[in-house]
Structure 1
Amino acid sequence: MQTEKRLVELAQQKDEHAFARLYEEYFDKIYRYIALKIGNKMEAEDLTQQVFMNMLRSISSFKWQDNTPFSAWLYRIAHNQIVDYLRKRSRQPVLDIEVVTPLACADDPVETTEVNIDYEKFVEVSGKLTPAQQEVISLRFSSDLPIAEVAKIMNKTPGAVKALQHSAVSSLRRMLSGA
């Protein structure tokens, strides 16, 4: 298996297979990150595609810095796409017909309904967290990234990320329990 660094080098040389491998490696993580932030499946898919189009256009200018993973660059592109999307949306309010909800866990409709209700409550209360706490929760749990990678993406120390995560989880626990 090729290393990430080698895949990026090949993609910078316009190697379609390398680009496809990077796309496959990161698509789901970037999609979940965007979907959690904007709450609309179709828009999240469109924005995720745009992230990879931007990656394709600008990968030749990508440079490795201080052992920062390639994914940090992709998440920065995704973050910028989200900011642009939210800025445009705030000027033109729309009604989201399809919000992002988790997939059914089983064929049991009662369990599926319970999961969806819990998720809706989570989305509601997570909106009360600070923007930095929301970002940490999104990157750590939605995108399933390790603390070190989240720290690089957010330009914070791993200790700061751990502290943000701890305070966010504590706040969520308190809000979800109604305390």
Structure 2
Amino acid sequence: MNLRQNNPTDYDLVKQYIDGNHECIDTLINRHKDRIYTYIYLIVKNHQLTEDIFQDTFIKVIRSLRLGKYQDNGKFLAWVLRIAHNLIIDHFRREKQSNTFSKDDYELDIFNSNKYCEGNCEDELIRDQIHDDIRELVQELPDDQREVVILRHYKGLSFKDIAEHTDVSINTALGRMRYALINMRKIIEERNMTLTFH
């Protein structure tokens, strides 16, 4: 079989990993890590917690691949994001049960929904809706913040690359991303958005 060695698809990499090429999982993680990390951080707003959930996500991804639980439908990233999202919900549930959750009660209500955990056909519709909502939020950001979010979240550039691309310091690029996330959360709160279906 002639796999696309120079630019293998996610499907190629998953298949090679399952067939025993363990380096392929590193390629998959590196390909999607920025978008997955940003997605988790946008919800939990804590770098250490984001790191923990990010690590747990890929532990679960690797375990699921080894157990043959992944059916490729051309949407590997969507599948990983769903795993991350369910782990975020699990975290908020545990915090709620131990009564140590943050003041952002509305956030717990948003992401503590049984609908996300059903594992049914609604999952993909919900995920698509969330992505549409996030894209709309990004469009409302000031130009400099929107540019950083797009370059980081959708193009997968490092902050070093973003700094060079936009001709600013890395600290400025990081600051713009931070303000972008703050502004997006502010819009979510002002409009009482839940990033899900009612």
The TM-score, its normalising length taken from structure 1, stands at: 0.58
How far has the Cα of 1:131 moved from its partner? 2.8
Give yes or no for contact 2:17–2:24 (8 Å, CA) kept in 1: yes
Please, what is the CA RMSD of the aligned residues?
3.3
**What's the counterpart of residue 93 of structure 1?**
101
**What's the counterpart of residue 126 of structure 1?**
188
Give yes or no for contact 1:7–1:19 (8 Å, CA) kept in 2: yes
Distance 1:43 1:108, change over 3 A: closer
**What's the counterpart of residue 15 of structure 1?**
21
Distance 1:126 1:56, change over 3 A: same
How far has the Cα of 1:10 moved from its partner? 1.5
Name structure 1 gaps, 5 residues minimum. 97-101, 134-179
Give yes or no for contact 1:51–1:78 (8 Å, CA) kept in 2: yes
Name structure 2 gaps, 5 residues minimum. 1-5, 105-147, 149-158
**What's the counterpart of residue 152 of structure 1?**
none
Q: Which amino acid aligns with 2:194?
A: T
| Whole-angstrom CA distance in 1 between matches of 2:175 and 2:78 | 35
**What's the counterpart of residue 53 of structure 1?**
59
Asked which structure has the greater RCO (Cα within 8 Å, sep 6+), the reply is: 1
Are 2:48 and 1:42 equivalent residues in the alignment? yes
Are 2:83 and 1:77 equivalent residues in the alignment? yes
How far has the Cα of 1:85 moved from its partner? 1.2
| Whole-angstrom CA distance in 2 between matches of 1:79 and 1:64 | 19
Distance 1:122 1:72, change over 3 A: closer
Tell me the SS of whatever aligns to 1:131: coil
Distance 1:87 1:14, change over 3 A: farther
The TM-score, its normalising length taken from structure 2, stands at: 0.53
**What's the counterpart of residue 62 of structure 1?**
69
Q: Which amino acid aligns with 1:122?
A: M
Q: How does 1:134-149 map to 2 (within 5 A)?
A: none
Distance 1:93 1:81, change over 3 A: same
Tell me the SS of whatever aligns to 1:130: coil
Distance 1:131 1:116, change over 3 A: closer
Runs of 4+ in 1 over 2 A off after TM superposition: 62-65, 93-96, 102-122
Give yes or no for contact 1:64–1:70 (8 Å, CA) kept in 2: no
